[in-house]
Amino acid sequence: MWNKVFHFGHTVIFTRQFATVQAQNRRVVVTGVGCVSAVGVSAEVAWKNILSAQCGIVKLTDPSYANLPCRVAAQISKDEFDLTKIFSKGDLKAMSPAIAYSLIATKEALTCANWFPTDLEAQNRTGVAVGIGMVNLPDICEMNNSLQQGYNRVSPFFIPRILLNMAAGHISIKYGFRGPNHAVSTACATGAHAIGDGYRFIQSNLADVMVCGAGEAPISPLCIAGFSRLRSLSTSFNDDPQKSSRPFDKKREGFVIGEGAAICILESLDHAKQRQAPIFGEILGYGCSGDAAHLTSPREDGLGAQLAMQRALEDAQLSPVNIGYVNAHATSTPMGDAIESRAITHVFGNHNVAVSSTKGAHGHLLGSAGNLETMFTILACRDGKLPPTINLTDVSDDMKHLNFVANTSQPWSGHKRRIALKNAFGFGGTNACLCIGEFRENT
């Protein structure tokens, strides 16, 4: 409903009179998914490869990596996926690879959702919540070198390329989306927070549709050197890269950097039904918390992770017994995986919940990890198949009570409705958890 409010000369200004909607009564569903990753450059291909335990981690052969402790990454094949064949030279001057990946994933997700509105009202009610976790370091290195040669050698696109909200900006501009234009940057929780915030925007009736997720393209010598100095990365599998990322395994020693993007189209259920959109799943709850403990390490007792999971359950008005699966953040670090397993045990007690991490297949996409893994969790709820934790040959003794879906996917059984939690944690002690469910008309 629109009301005339005031006018300037011959121009009449209208504002929309919004109905008051209780957050808990406005259901939010997923109507489209898209991704670019080392394990697949479309959602369904990536999901098929995840279920078949494929791995996209490769050895870094460029000489610039030769003297670094870590020489593996989950890198998208430039031979098979060439950005210069997708974007013009002018486009690529104005965007970093993370932005380009985000645009590609967005196009797939919007096509999947069949949502390319052209009328003003629909565009005004469609928003974007897409983040980037890390600034594009190669741009900074290159422009610093250019500056030494002269001021005029610095690209006018330098600043727009490194701003962390520019993926959201490009998407909004390309498709004319004038709803909330939001960018999250919360380290490795970025993508999950973006989806959670998009969910809140729809619940609060600030939008009917939200394009949500994140992109990341961190693979560079400086980035790998920096994480290596933190002793965060795997270094013992440089000659056997597909074995390097091994969540929950006794031989885990650090994560493997990955790149890519994943986008989920969130939509109010009423809006999706009205236009007969496909529905992949439902976002049931969202919880977030802070560790308040350390810059790079989680709390040893896992309290921050526990709070995020508990808050997601409370938001969904569910209890642990309703959950059949947890898609863990588990990056393959000795401390992080152990702490998360303790947090899961604390929340679920003796309830038999399956837990897996898909990072053994696609690496750790930093800011784009939570959203890519949320997409896999949505598809797990849709298909009733649990994605495996690959490279898990010997579970640590303190974790053997959990079902980590080791190496082979498993059927999801034993629950009336398939409901999962998705964890994502980041440096600075930032935590997010999404509660995701199989879509059912009547809950």
Name the residues annotated as catalytic: 188, 329, 364
DSSP 427: T
Helices (H), 251-333: 269-274, 303-316
Q: How far is CA 297 from CA 301, 336, 429, in A?
A: 11, 8, 7
Query: Do residues 157 and 93 lie in contact, with contact meaning Cβ atoms separated by under 8 Å?
Result: yes
Q: DSSP letter string over 51-71?
A: HTT----EE--SGGGTTSS--
d(CA 350, CA 1) in angstroms, rounded, equals 51
What the block records as the tokens of 169 is 């900006």
d(CA 78, CA 82) in angstroms, rounded, equals 5
d(CA 28, CA 50) in angstroms, rounded, equals 26
Position of tokens 């490194």? 162
Q: How far is CA 162 from CA 65, 214, 216, 229, in A?
A: 23, 14, 12, 23
Position of tokens 């969790």? 377
What the block records as the tokens of 390 is 């690959």
d(CA 387, CA 134) in angstroms, rounded, equals 27
Handedness of CA 342, 346, 351, 356 (dihedral sign): negative
Helices (H), 25-135: 43-51, 89-93, 97-113, 120-124
Which residue type, as a one-letter code, is found at position 84?
T
**Torsion angle of the four alpha carbons 309, 315, 317, 319, in this order, in degrees rounded to the nearest 10:** 10
What the block records as the tokens of 99 is 């932005």
Which residue type, as a one-letter code, is found at position 323?
I
Which residues have a Cβ under 8 Å from the Cβ of 280 and sit 6 or more positions away? 29, 30, 31, 32, 33, 378, 379, 382, 439
Handedness of CA 159, 162, 168, 172 (dihedral sign): positive
Burial label for 149, CB within 10 Å (0-12, 13-18, 19+), is: exposed
What the block records as the tokens of 225 is 């050197």
